[in-house]
Structure 1
Amino acid sequence: MKILSFKSGHDGAVAGIDAPKEHLMFSYEAEKDSLPRNSPIDPNTLIDAGLWFNELPDVLALSGWSTRGENHTAISGAGSFGIDESSAIVGTKNFFGKRLDYYSSSHERSLIWATYAMSPFEQGEPCYVLVWEDALGDFYEIDRDLIIHHKGRVLAAPGRRFSFLYALADPAFSGTSETLGKDFSSKLQSASAHGDARAIDGDAQGLIDALLNNSADSRFLHKDTFRGSPYHNVGVASPRFQNLAAKYSDAVFSRFHDFAKTNLTKHYPLLISGECGLNYRWNTRWRDSGLFRDVFIPPCTNDSGCAIGTAVDAMRHFTGRAKLDWTVYAGQPFNDDRIDMEGVTSRELNLSEVAAALYDGMVIGWVMGNCEIGPRALGNRSILAAPFSTETRDRVNKIKGRAGLAPVSPVCLEEDVSKHFDWSGPSPHMLHFQQVTDPRLKAVNHVDGSARVQTVTKDQNAMLHDLLTEFKATSGVGVLCNTSLNFKRSGFINKTSDLYKFARSVGLDGFVAGRSFYRF
């Protein structure tokens, strides 16, 4: 049985599962070919996905989706909400002349089942699940029989409430909670690193209380509603706002932590899903909380994992199984659309040569194999640089079109991570917070001394591990700057023509694609 699954709406994706093998065949996100961030599924993505099938799949699956607003009218499949079997649609559909099984379940279920299926725990081991995102802020329990139990809603729309604070302070934003920038959450995380939560005033606490008013529908998040606040258009670089951001981040997390401490007392593992699962500070606080035996966050914790989640839900329905064998490199393969590349010299890839070039200060694009799933560049669609100077950080941020002091994440040999950061063991998906302990790593050291590390093993990504090993032999440090290879506000670059255009336009010194090293 092969299952073809679609996630409609923003963060569109299409995924395929081989159910007898419990294997994720692929997960293609619509944005992952230099298309606009958060794109819906387009014909190209569908055609690419079809190449995996020698014949039509056995099951079509569709993640539910709804309109925003008070009624949340279903516009795709089973709609957005519901956790029991009544929230699913089961039937058959005619598809290119063949009658196929059809399964659709809610957006809510897709988030739950994606993180459950990808987690390392055996099926039948009970788990808690936290879904926190634009609409949902809820805890669940999955029992040994794969039944989902709702443990309680902590806060409606935590993702939207969190992002809105940045919008409120930003004079350039004039919209509503419906038009918040998708990057506002990460920008607020960065702002909070500059602030001191202990330095807030009464105005700040009053605003926090208003924004976290659980009885209010999230439609109240409109800048005009808060025009009288001293934080309205105060400026996102204002120290007063940065202190508020630090306190607000603490307040949102504490709301959920306090609920969990009181109501989730069985010490089960915690699985985290939803866009707030990209908040690496909160993820580490969950890990360090002591409330759970373990904590797992998938790399596609936001809506990019929903096609996987609905495919798993369909597999669970038809086979009784809900676990996957998967790799983070299950995205689109690179398209080497050969072009004339003026001003470029090409050599066969030699990792020691690349390591030496990085040590000499070159900033290099790095393309290997298939795209990563989820929003983080994890060594297959990356920009790499040496980690030693603030000048390198500033140059990488200029290349990316970001603020000069924006954090640049490190990638590190897993066996060396405790030499450079206050961390031991794996952090393969760049979803946790660490403190930098090595003073040499100035390019990846954020203003508060923090970093968001990706650790790499030979089994996880052999080429990147080998490059880090060569760089360590050259520099003494198995760490590099690693940020995503993409045009601004677009998904990862996935073909040679775009890679060459990007490298020329932003001033990369060269790029690696496949088995070749190209230098300008």
Structure 2
Amino acid sequence: MRIISFKPHHDGTIAALDTSSAELIYSYEAEKDSFPRYSAVTPTTVLDAAGRLDAIPDVVAVGGWERAGFRRHVSDAADYCGIAAGSEIVGEKTIFGRRVHFYSSTHERSHLWCSYGMSPFPTGMPCYVLTWEGLLGDFYEIDECLQVVHLGKVMAGPGEKYSFLYALADPKFTLPQERFRYEDAGKLMALCAYGEAGSPDRDEQALIDFLLPSDPNRLYNEDLRSSPYSNIGVTHQKFTNLARRFSDAIFDSFHTFAKKNLTKGFPLLIGGGCGLNCEWNRRWVETNLFSDVFISPCTNDAGSAIGTAVDAMRHFTGNAKIKWNVYSGQPFIFDEIDRTGLEAHPLDYDQVTSALLSNKVIGWVQGNCEIGPRALGNRSILAAPFSKATHERLNRIKNREGFRPIAPVCLEQDVALHFDLARPSPYMLFFQKVLDSRLKAVTHVDGTARAQTVSREQNPRLFQLLTSFKGKRCAKAPCNRLINMELSRHDIGTCEGRYGRRDQRRRAGRRL
């Protein structure tokens, strides 16, 4: 049985599963291939995804979305919330003259089953699940029979409250009421590092006490125009202090609930966009409340199509575990380009390493796109990690704020030499303290970094490049074993198997 699944609205994605092997065939995200971030599913994405299947699928699945506030994408699709029996819709549809099964379940369930289906724990092992994102902030338990129990709602809309705080301080925020900018949560996470530790002062506590219990659908900048933080500027020290303490208050609310109610020591699975907060992820590990903690590389809405497909597979087959590879996105397409002024060479790791050590910035492209928002060595920008000027340069290249951190990539066996990281981090989802003072380009203002660890099995070409970089650097100076890797969501111009002296365009008329 083949299942094709669609995630509507922002972070639009199409995923396909083969239930006979319980394997992810692909997960195509609409924003990849140089389309705008947070894109909905487009006809191009549909055609690309359909072209990868050799027959009409047996099941068409559609993730649920809000009935109010957004136009419905499918007239009989499920709603946003709900986990109980009856929150799914099962039927049939005709696709190109063939009757196929139709399945739709809620957005809430998509996060649950994406986390469970992609987790490394065997079928039958009970797990806790934390789903925290724009609207949801809930804990669940999935038992050995795949029954889901809702353990409690801790907070409505932690993700939207996080975004709201950044917009409150930003004089450039001009969106109408009840709208958020999807990118603001990540920016606030970066700014928290600039805040000073300590208990909230009176102004901070008053705003925290107002925001935490609020309905995120009724938060309006206009209502807080008299706040001392309204349009104060996002880099103002008074605001970064608030950001840090507000972030801590959100985590503490969930931690307090978990400590009281999640007492069986099961593994914790984290789903939803708040799972991209690397500081919170590390803190969950350090609580020691759980036997393990798992966050998928597509923990945000980019994994919702996979989650709905897993839910459909569970419905039709009884199985809810899949095999998957993080490099299951769209393949790179080799376009004919104008090579005037370019030098092109076969891929030579020593040559690329020499360029990196000469402070060149390299576009690195190979194979399929990564699933999820982190580029993990198949669509990446590479540079040496030793200069603060490199940090500034990469942020300029990416056209983003200077306070945003740059992420390193490191050989898995060498990670403890540079970071206080006691476990592999193949998907860049945990913060670590930087131990090596020479790594100025990748050390954030609070002394942390968001490292990716790489093994030979995980990414052979990137492993070989890191090994070459390690060898050449060790021959010239005290040994350093990692490369600064600022990761792009979009394709970078250097083609697989070639090394060019100048960026090449991915497609005519598209930005890199």
The bucket for the TM-score relative to the shorter chain is over 0.9
2:331: which partner in 1? 333
User: Contact 2:271–2:295 at 8 Å: present in 1 too?
Assistant: yes
Give the distance between the partners of 2:64 and 2:361, measured in 1 at CA.
42
SS at match of 1:91: strand
User: Contact 1:83–1:106 at 8 Å: present in 2 too?
Assistant: yes
1:206: which partner in 2? 206
> Which of the residues 476, 479, 482 maps onto 2:482?
479
User: Contact 1:64–1:76 at 8 Å: present in 2 too?
Assistant: no
Q: 1:76 to 1:245 in 2, by over 3 A?
A: farther
Larger mean Cα displacement after TM superposition, 75-84 or 335-344: 75-84
Q: Which runs of 4+ in 1 moved over 6 A?
A: 70-74
Give the distance between the partners of 2:223 and 2:73, measured in 1 at CA.
26
User: Contact 2:178–2:218 at 8 Å: present in 1 too?
Assistant: no
1:433: which partner in 2? 431
User: Contact 1:377–1:482 at 8 Å: present in 2 too?
Assistant: no
User: Contact 1:65–1:76 at 8 Å: present in 2 too?
Assistant: no
Give the distance between the partners of 2:75 and 2:159, measured in 1 at CA.
22
User: Contact 2:28–2:330 at 8 Å: present in 1 too?
Assistant: yes
2:110: which partner in 1? 110
SS at match of 1:86: coil
Give the distance between the partners of 2:39 and 2:380, measured in 1 at CA.
20
SS at match of 2:441: helix
Please report the RMSD computed on the Cα atoms of aligned residues, expressed in angstroms.
Answer: 1.6
Deviations 1:308-331 (A, max 9, x none): 001101111111100011000000
Q: How far 1:153 sits from its partner (Å)?
A: 0.3
Deviations 1:400-438 (A, max 9, x none): 112234210000001000000001221000010100000
Q: 1:165 to 1:268 in 2, by over 3 A?
A: same
Give the distance between the partners of 1:120 and 1:170, measured in 2 at CA.
41
Alignment of 1:406-425 (within 5 A): 406-425=404-423
Q: How far 1:298 sits from its partner (Å)?
A: 0.3
User: Contact 1:200–1:240 at 8 Å: present in 2 too?
Assistant: no
Quote the sequence identity (%).
53
Give the distance between the partners of 1:104 and 1:54, measured in 2 at CA.
23
Q: How far 1:515 sits from its partner (Å)?
A: 1.0
**TM-score, scaled relative to structure 2:** 0.95
Q: 1:196 to 1:66 in 2, by over 3 A?
A: same
Is 2:5 the partner of 1:5? Answer: yes
Gaps of 5+ in 1: 486-490, 494-498, 501-510
**Pairs aligned (count):** 497
Alignment of 1:235-246 (within 5 A): 235-246=233-244
Give the distance between the partners of 2:243 and 2:197, measured in 1 at CA.
8
Deviations 1:27-71 (A, max 9, x none): 000110111111111111111111222211111111111145599
Give the distance between the partners of 2:443 and 2:383, measured in 1 at CA.
14
1:274: which partner in 2? 272
User: Contact 1:271–1:296 at 8 Å: present in 2 too?
Assistant: yes
Deviations 1:172-230 (A, max 9, x none): 113356322211111111111011131642011100110112xx322331111111111
Give the distance between the partners of 2:381 and 2:115, measured in 1 at CA.
28
Give the distance between the partners of 1:103 and 1:245, measured in 2 at CA.
41
Q: 1:434 to 1:16 in 2, by over 3 A?
A: same
Deviations 1:136-171 (A, max 9, x none): 100000011101110000000110011111111111
Return the letter of the residue paired with 1:394: E
Deviations 1:422-481 (A, max 9, x none): 012210000101000001111000001000010000001000011000000111322111
> Which of the residues 212, 221, 227 maps onto 1:223?
221
Gaps of 5+ in 2: 474-478, 503-512
SS at match of 1:464: helix
2:318: which partner in 1? 320
Give the distance between the partners of 2:309 and 2:299, measured in 1 at CA.
15
SS at match of 2:490: coil
Is 2:482 the partner of 1:515? Answer: no
Alignment of 1:249-328 (within 5 A): 249-328=247-326
